[in-house]
Structure 1
Amino acid sequence: MSDAVDRGGVPPDMPAGAQDGQHALHRAIGPFQLFAYTLGGMLGAGIYGLVGRAAGDLGNAVWLGFAVAMVAALLTGLSYASLGSRYPRAGGAAYVTQRAYGMRLLTWTVGLAVMASGLTSVATQSRVVAVNLLALFPVGVPPVIVALGFLMLVGGLVFRGIRESMAANIVCTAVEFLGLVLVILVGLPYWGSVDLLEVPSPDGITATMLLSGAILTFFAFIGFEDSLNVAEECRDPSRTVPIGIVGAMLAATVLYMAVAVTAVSVVPYAELARAPSPLAAVTARAAPWLPGWAYIAITIFAVANTALLNYVTASRLAYGMARDGLLPKPLARVHPATRTPHVAVAVLFVLLVALMLAGDIGQLASATVLLLLTVFMIVNMALVVLQRRPGEPRGGFEVPAFVPVLGALVCGALLFNRVAGGDWRAPAMAGAILVAILALYALMRPRTTARTA
């Protein structure tokens, strides 16, 4: 088998649709756009509450927790960057899983688990956006109507084109970034006022404490994995994907650590841990002149951006799986004018509306995080398998085998920690989702095409 051709005879860096006369996705993403896409996926609104929870465990040393978490998350991030440079395909984790293991059931499970994570996230975020918009503009409209309008807006943007989606992402990511920078700037005069190694325990910083804090802050980095699903739409993916993923993870780490230092410098860590909105407490004390609506507006941009990126990711995953025979073939159709998978976008919109109307699905969203950690383990080990297989194409960014192995071990440890020490409802819900995924497989009996077989 040639290094330039995959196991089905299709060059891994060439859209399959272009091979068989169909319309292909538009290669419109450069390094900066993918950097913003990855950074926007990680920043989200989670960091705004996560700092307080981590401060409860680590005290003033919360910044150290982010540093350790970055090392742990970067192991899997490097694996994804390497895989994206090797196999820039819209199927993302599902394509890589099938290529490595050749097991349809496993590929189906991975693909639908990732999709479930994205869809539950978008549905949840649509309601958050609605509540915050009504807080800014109390017009007496039911939140469900506002949430539906938001889903229509995001769905229309995803259908319109990857260029337009990337432009909207850059705007939203800039607002998220500047919001966190504003927190840092108003709190900068307080730097140096506290001992940044002070922790709640009289024993000082221990390995157990640091691990606990790192486990919590690790989830601030989730979002980098979305970039693998848009690799097919990148210009020069062997260079663009690694720059986008690794660069964004490093930038997020610096930003998170600076925010953490600022937060504990302005507000005592015990008080910060009790605050319902930790960074709002920081700005209220360091910048009392800042109007309350500004924080709400930043939150809207952050949540809306995450919803947009998850919608794009889910649509590309559905498109890639359909093209490879794992989902109904119509989902692989690409609109000739917009060059987007319009059928997948429309079908997902229906599913999103149903999820949004279902009400509070927070527990469902928590369960899909457990599934995502399992996917990380599978994808990390898939890279090991592909690295060891003779004839597999090399990418523009290669990592030694110990990187994905350690990445899989870290994700396994995180998964065990969440299942053993967390609320039993999330693991139970994750198990129910897996049962549903397996039942769908038995019902549909998908067949992979030669491209991934």
Structure 2
Amino acid sequence: MADAVQGQGEPRLQRRIGLGLLVMYGLGSMLGAGIYGLVGEAARLMGSAIWLAFLVSMVAALLTGLSYATIASRYPRAGGACYVTHRAYRSPLLGYLVGLAVACSGLTSIATQANVVARNLQAAFGLDGVPVLLLATGFLLIVAGIILRGIKESLWLNALCTVVEAFGLILVVAVGIPYWGSASLLEWPDAAQGTEAAGTALLVFQGAVLTFFSFIGFEDTMNLAEEVKSPERTMPAGLILAMVAATIIYLAICVTAVSVVPWRELAAAPAPLAEVVRRAAPWFPTVGFIGITIFAVANTALVNYVMASRLLYGMARQGLLPAALGRVHPTRHTPHVAIGALLVVTLALAAIGNIASLAAATVLLLLFVFTIVNGALIVLQRRQGEKRGTFEVPSIIPALGMVVCLTLIVVRVATGNIQAPLIAGGLILAILALYLATSRNRGKEMEELMRSDVLS
């Protein structure tokens, strides 16, 4: 029923996305702002052993990614994480909390990326006299316009941006390969030299919490389920292929970066990967790599915006948000009300300017969400009468995913500054307050939805 219309001629999302575009979307959601900006921070914490941090964070992400692939195969619908949370725990409150926690992470990410794009535009084109907020606003309006235009247009632009940002990363690896083997890959910061095995393990986990941000985005893919062809098979394949490709690229970047630039200098560089290219390929124009960085960051914003709009749409269809957010444009077949609402909120966040601490808190929020969703899959796998998908993982996979995510949360809260946990806790409290203010009849609507296994 790909392009069927619901009820009295009501427009709905259309199935236009194949495996290729889905893989590019998933890859584009992970590549980008994270890897382009985190290599230096990881080097400051881990020395030349940054590949270990990325490897551990990859394992953590892949465990949850496999759970998401199973969920997408079983219940291919927008707002899937929210849906399975309520289905498993039978709690509209918990489903609401999961859905909006993911949405909050997307909004803060978009606002951050808008400001990053604005600053890069200033640097590349000498626009120092133009306010950052004005450039960020223009960027957000363009992105919102593209997403409003249509999902196919959005994903073709995503594919283009993904090719550009992937080219930038491949360029880094290509020009740096001759340097491989020239530096130790297990040189630790001076403060960590000679530490016991337990201390080293703690350091690796701290690095994993930091680099986990580079893998955030795979969960965005599930919110396109109602626009994917044969989602029960296409969704798991697209998600896993994107994660494997991102992991290979990340590990190659880590080895290249510390091989070309000594890790202490890499940690001090304002643009780490640009510094790698400057040293390994001085013939490549600096402004060219700034342009690539803009494409990479813009792509992350585009993907997050698509995710957030489909998430609000899905939650509205499930009765968790006002019904207006579930409306679809009659000709463009996009959730135009949700797109407009997100634009207003994101513009407000971008006006704040310095939201680095808020962005860091989103990692904690998503680890919290992943813990709940992994647990939900275990409950559903053990429940009699639940349908199985064409892709299934054993219960040990989501169980390990829960343990790893909880470990990363504890490490971050216990060893990092208190500001990010306070922000994350404040966001959760705000979501709970919003739930209490808008909860009338929501549980009944969700229970009606639970009785149907087909897309509404």
What's the TM-score once normalised by structure 2's chain length?
Answer: 0.92
Alignment of 1:12-23 (within 5 A): 18=6, 21-23=9-11
Aligned counterpart for 2:331 among listed residues 337, 340, 357? 337
Residue matched to 2:125 = 137
Does 2:82 correspond to 1:94? yes
2:379 is matched with 385
Amino acid at match of 2:329: H
**Residue identity opposite 2:391 in structure 1:** F
> Does residue 427 of structure 2 align to residue 433 of structure 1?
yes
Deviations 1:78-100 (A, max 9, x none): 00111011111111211111111
Aligned match of 1:236? 230
Alignment of 1:286-305 (within 5 A): 286-305=280-299
Distance apart, 1:217 and its partner CA: 2.4
Aligned residue among 56, 61, 66 for 1:73 = 61
Q: Distance in 1 between matches of 2:124 and 2:39?
A: 25
In the superposition, relative to structure 1, how do residues 218 and 358 fare at CA in structure 2: closer, same or farther (>3 Å)? closer
Corresponding residue for residue 454 of structure 2: none
Say yes or no: does 1:25 pair with 2:13: yes
- Aligned pair partner of 1:312 in 303, 306, 317: 306
What do the CA deviations read for 1:38-84 (whole angstroms, capped 9, x no partner)?
11111122112322232334433322332232222100000011101
3-state SS of the aligned residue for 1:219? Answer: helix
Counterpart for residue 143 of structure 2: 154
Note if 1:451 corresponds to 2:445. no
Q: Distance in 1 between matches of 2:54 and 2:351?
A: 36
Quick check: 1:136–1:296 contact (8 Å CA) kept in 2?
A: yes
Quote the Cα distance in structure 2 between the aligned partners of 1:23 and 1:438.
31
- 2:177 aligned with 1:188: yes
Superposed CA offset, 1:305-348 (max 9, x none) = 11111111111111111111111111111112111111111111
Instruction: Tell me if structure 2 keeps the 8 A contact 1:15–1:232.
Output: no
2:209 aligns with 215
User: Of 228, 232, 256, which residue of structure 1 is paired with 2:250?
Assistant: 256
Aligned partner of residue 18 in structure 1, secondary structure: coil
Correspondence 1:366 to 2:360? yes
Give the distance between the partners of 2:203 and 2:17, measured in 1 at CA: 41
Letter of the 1:74 partner, please give it: L
- Residue 343 of structure 2 aligns with which residue? 349
CA distance in 2, matches of 1:142, 1:49: 23
Quickly say closer, same or farther: Cα 1:441–1:203, change in 2 above 3 A.
Answer: closer
Q: Which moved more, 1:397-406 or 1:112-121?
A: 112-121
Q: Is the 8 A contact 1:191 1:261 kept in 2?
A: yes
Q: Give 1:55's aligned residue.
A: 43
**Match for 2:89: what amino acid?**
Y
- Looking at structure 2, the residues matched to 15 and 441 of structure 1 have their Cα atoms a distance apart, in angstroms, of 33
User: How far apart, CA to CA, are the structure 1 residues paired with 2:136 and 2:57?
Assistant: 33
Q: Which moved more, 1:205-214 or 1:374-383?
A: 205-214
Residues 1:227 and 2:221 aligned together: yes
Deviation at 1:203, TM superposition (A): 6.3
Once the two structures are TM-superposed, the CA of residue 14 in structure 1 deviates from its matched residue by: 7.6
Q: Kindly tell me: are residues 276 and 134 of structure 1, through their superposed partners in 2, closer, same or farther at Cα, counting changes over 3 Å? A: closer
CA separation of 1:56 and 1:147: change in aligned 2, threshold 3 A: closer
Name the residue aligned to 1:7: none
Work out whether residues 324 and 452 of structure 1, in 8 Å CA contact, stay in contact via their aligned partners in 2: no
Q: CA deviation at 1:288?
A: 1.4
- Which residue is 1:267 aligned to? 261
Q: How many residues align?
A: 441
CA distance in 2, matches of 1:198, 1:430: 33
Aligned residue for 1:133, secondary structure, equals helix
CA distance in 2 between counterparts of 1:49 and 1:120 reads 16
In the TM superposition, what is the alpha-carbon distance from 1:20 to its structure 2 partner? 6.6
Question: Which residue is equivalent to 1:112?
Answer: 100
Q: Distance in 1 between matches of 2:172 and 2:37?
A: 13
Task: Return closer, same or farther for 1:235/1:354 CA change in 2, 3 Å cut-off.
Answer: same
Q: 2:33 — aligned with what? A: 45
For structure 1, the residue ranges without an aligned partner over 5 or more in a row are: 1-12
Matching residue's letter, 2:358: L
Q: Quick check: 15-24 or 298-307, which moved more?
A: 15-24
Q: Provide the C-alpha distance between the structure 1 equivalents of 2:45 and 2:118, rounded to a whole number of angstroms.
A: 32
- The 3-state SS of whatever aligns with 1:262 is helix
- Pick which of 283-292 and 209-218 moved more: 209-218
SS of equivalent to 1:177: helix
Does the 8 A contact of 1:198 with 1:204 survive in 2? no
- 1:245 pairs with 2:239: yes
Residues 88-144 of structure 1 deviation map (CA, whole Å, 9 limit, x = unaligned): 111121111111111111111111111111111111211111111122223433221
Counterparts of 2:423 and 2:3, CA distance in 1: 36
CA drift of 1:199 comes to: 3.7
Name the counterpart of 1:10. none
TM-score in terms of structure 1 length: 0.93
Residue type matched to 1:335 in 2?
A: H
Q: Compared with structure 1, are the counterparts of its residues 291 and 331 closer, same or farther at alpha carbon in structure 2 (3 Å cutoff)?
A: same
Which whole-Å deviations, capped at 9, do the CAs of 1:381-419 have from their partners, x for residues lacking one?
111111111121211210000000110111111111111
Deviates more, 1:301-310 or 1:278-287: 278-287
CA shift, 1:283, in A, is 1.2
